[in-house]
Amino acid sequence: MTDWEKFMGQSSPLPKEIVDLLPSLFQVSANQHVRLLTPRGPVPRQDDNIMHIHDDYEFTVPLSHSPVLSIDKRTFLLPRNHVFPCNPGQLHAPAQRAEGHFLMAFQINRHYLHSIAASLFRGSQVSFSNEPSAYDHQLGLLLQMFADECEAQQTGNQFVLDNLSCMIVIHLLRVLNNESPTTEPRLAHGGKRRMTTAVDFLHANWDKDFSWDDLQAVVGLSKYHFIRLFKLETGKTPYRYFIDLKLDKASILLRSTNHSITDICFMCGFNSHSHFTRLFQSKLGVPPFRYRQLQQN
């Protein structure tokens, strides 16, 4: 089954001509937890009777208009620039024919979301209310970082995507109405020692491929507890700390060696020159070539 068919659900396969058209309309970014579709162009005419069911949680964000969606025989207006959740097993389809609009959608693996909810709350079963919530800046930033990381495929890619997936789920559980309780458990003891171990691991493996499971085996904490405790101890999320560590290494190489910027990009585990330049400028205020010029003056 293709990523496009996974988005539509197994109960109603898309016609082949539509499947063939989708890559020109959407950019797909995915790991084992999150599948994100961002628009390349406007959606063509949609039929209003393509009823289907997903095994996972789906979230739709209309970007150019307000479509109408039918879920479990109820009709909902999806306001522009709002997130609208659909739970696993809910039968849904467009309630009106529409065309020429832009939308974004993403899905979260239900088992993954349940595992994070279990570490946050007393129970793992989550049912989101079918109501829109504003598409806030933080969620937009997390999804953009997820798409960028999928495209860049740099060293530590799996670890970074796992972190971003967890942060996306936590954010959704915090901001969208759902039936889970809101009391969070206390953090485990010995946090400072475990975070020192985690920081040492990141410094020792900053230029290597490793997964979240590798780090979790070292610290022995759930993903949510680790991210929260790590930020308390360092002031940064593991993702931000890891990226900043790689950028710090790059700045040292720019100051102290004659390696080309492209070579330094790859030496620091960045597989995309443009992605490296964008991250470097965001952190240090200037692109790598300008940074080197300033250091030489």
For 177-227, write each residue's pLDDT tens digit. 876 654 444 444 456 778 888 888 898 888 777 777 788 788 877 777 788
Query: Considering only the top CATH level, what class is 241-296?
Result: mainly alpha
Partnered with residue 76 across adjacent β-strands are 69
Radius of gyration of the chain (CA): 21
Q: Cα–Cα distance between 147 and 142 in angstroms, integer?
A: 9
Question: Residue 95: is its pLDDT beyond 60?
Answer: yes
Who contacts 235 (Cβ-Cβ below 8 Å, separation ≥6)? none
Q: Domain map of the chain by residue range?
A: 3-136, 241-296
pLDDT in tens, 270-296: 888 888 999 998 888 889 998 888 877
Calculate the average pLDDT of the chain: 80
Query: Considering only the top CATH level, what class is 3-136?
Result: mainly beta
Residue 174 has a CB neighbour count (10 Å cut-off) of 11
Q: Tell me the whole-structure pTM to 2 decimals.
A: 0.64
As given in the structure block, the two tokens for residue 286 are 């200037």
181 class by beta-carbon count within 10 Å (0-12 exposed, 13-18 middle, 19+ buried): exposed
- With cut-offs at 50, 70 and 90, classify the pLDDT of residue 2: low
For range 240-255, the mean pLDDT: 89
Sheet with 74-77: strands ordered across: 74-77, 68-71, 92-94
| Fold equal for 3-136 and 241-296 | no
Residue whose structure tokens are 């020792």:
204
